[in-house]
Amino acid sequence: MTEVLTVIREFDVFGNAGQTPYGIDTPKINVQFVGISPAMAFDANNQPKLARTNERKLRDIEDGLRREFHDKMAALDGNDLAQNLQAIQDLITTFKSRLEQDLLSDNQLELESLTMNGEWLTYWQDNAPLAKTKAQQQENLPQDF
């Protein structure tokens, strides 16, 4: 029987996790694939990975989603919780659909799970009275700090 391998990949929604300041945990979608050869391969350290062609397909899917959802994800702000959650849901369901359509293949490569981590902005209330007062106080701090 052929050995079934597992690979976990992290899709950084904005694609710039390496350039973010320390402490900021950018939004990510973790994808867990299970598969067999020829859809899977091994790296130089004998660890499972996606085959080169599948790796390229996955990268193309990720790049396409970043372009398609850039404006929606950059606009996640404000106090419209439903609108922000809808944008996140649209991104994740489109990602799953693209994986199923362009990458996965029956009995060779399957999607086992999708999870999220990082800081996903779902609600931001910056025009409430106390929030405005706080922002004003921060602007008026003494310059000797």
Whole-structure pTM value:
0.84
Q: How many domains does the structure of the chain reveal?
A: 1
Is the confidence at residue 21, as pLDDT, over 70? no
145 domain residue, yes or no: no
The whole-angstrom separation of Cα 52 and Cα 58 is: 10
Per-residue pLDDT at 114: 97
Residue 145 pLDDT > 60: no
Q: Does any domain span residue 144?
A: no
In a domain, 92, yes or no: yes
* Length of the chain as a residue count: 145
Q: What is the pLDDT of residue 18?
A: 64
Residue 89 belongs to a domain: yes
68 within domain boundaries: yes
Structural domain contains residue 135? yes
**Residue 113, domain member (yes or no):** yes
Region 38-59 average pLDDT: 95
- Residue 56's domain comprises 5-139
pLDDT at 76 over 60: yes
124 found inside a domain: yes
Mean pLDDT taken over the chain: 89
